[in-house]
Amino acid sequence: MNATRIASAIALLMIAIGSFEPFYWRIFTRNRARFHDAMVSLPYTKAPGLREHYLEVRAWTRPGERIGIFPTHRRWDGGYSYIYARSLYLLSGREVVPLIGTDNRPRLDQLARADAIAVWRAEPEGIPGFTIARRGKHGMLLRRVR
């Protein structure tokens, strides 16, 4: 066997090792129910209860309503973009609006347009024009007082 043949065999072995996906084999031995639960909560691991909260907000609101996301985190890149981005899918059909901007300033224009405010893990004190409409395990929904 010459050097090129040996090098070719090494290259083939490296490709095989490199492309190998152990998890596609390990899955046969994994607890499926536990893996399911882990994957369901994976996108929300940094915000415990956020998924359940948005599912409740979805049930409490109607399609077409404008829902502001309360700034539990006061900085856009300090957690707010995380909870805002994750509201879009679970609250689809509603118009979800951020209540702070990427510059971390309050978006009073969005607050003025909102029909309701989804509040996750916070107790906002007296937002003018809004009152607590529903309470859940991980948050609440404020509704505009008509």
Partner 1 sequence: MRRAGEAMLIAAGALWAITLLLDVTGIGWSRASLLVATAVAAIVAWWKRPRTAIEPAPLSPIDLLTVALIAGYALVATAAAPWDFDYLVNFGLKARTFAEHGGIDWAFLRHPPAERAVHPGYPLLLPLLYADVAILGGGWTDRWLGLVHVAFGLALILVIRCEWRTNRHVAAAATLIVAPLALSPWVGTADGPLLAYLTAALLAIRRGSLTTGAILLGLAGCTKNEGLSLIVAVAIAMIVAGRRRELLRLWPALAIAMPWVVIRTVLGIGTDITSGSPLSRALARLADPSSVLGPLAANPIGKPWLWIGIALALVLHRGIVLARERFTLTAVLVQLAFYLGAYLVTPHDVAWHVQWSLARVVSHVAPILAVIAVAAILEAQKNGRLAPPDAASNSPAVTP
Which residues sit at the interface with partner 1, rule CB under 8 A? 4-5, 7-8, 10-21, 23-25, 27-28, 32, 35-36, 39-40, 42-43, 63, 84-86, 88-89, 92-93, 95-98
| Residue number, 92 or 131, with CB nearest to partner 1 | 92
| Residue number, 74 or 89, with CB nearest to partner 1 | 89
Q: How far apart are CA 124 and CA 116, in angstroms?
A: 13
Please tell me the number of Cα atoms within 13 Å of 36 on its side-chain side: 3
DSSP notation for 62-95: -TT-EEEE--SSSSGGGTHHHHHHHHHHHTTTSE
* Minimum gap (Å) between residue 126 Cβ and partner 1: 27
Structure tokens that stand for 35 in this block: 């893996």
Whose structure tokens read 């043949």? 5
* Minimum gap (Å) between residue 108 Cβ and partner 1: 18
* Minimum gap (Å) between residue 131 Cβ and partner 1: 25
| Residue number, 2 or 125, with CB nearest to partner 1 | 2
Structure tokens that stand for 67 in this block: 């829902």
| Residue number, 49 or 132, with CB nearest to partner 1 | 49
Structure tokens that stand for 88 in this block: 């879009």
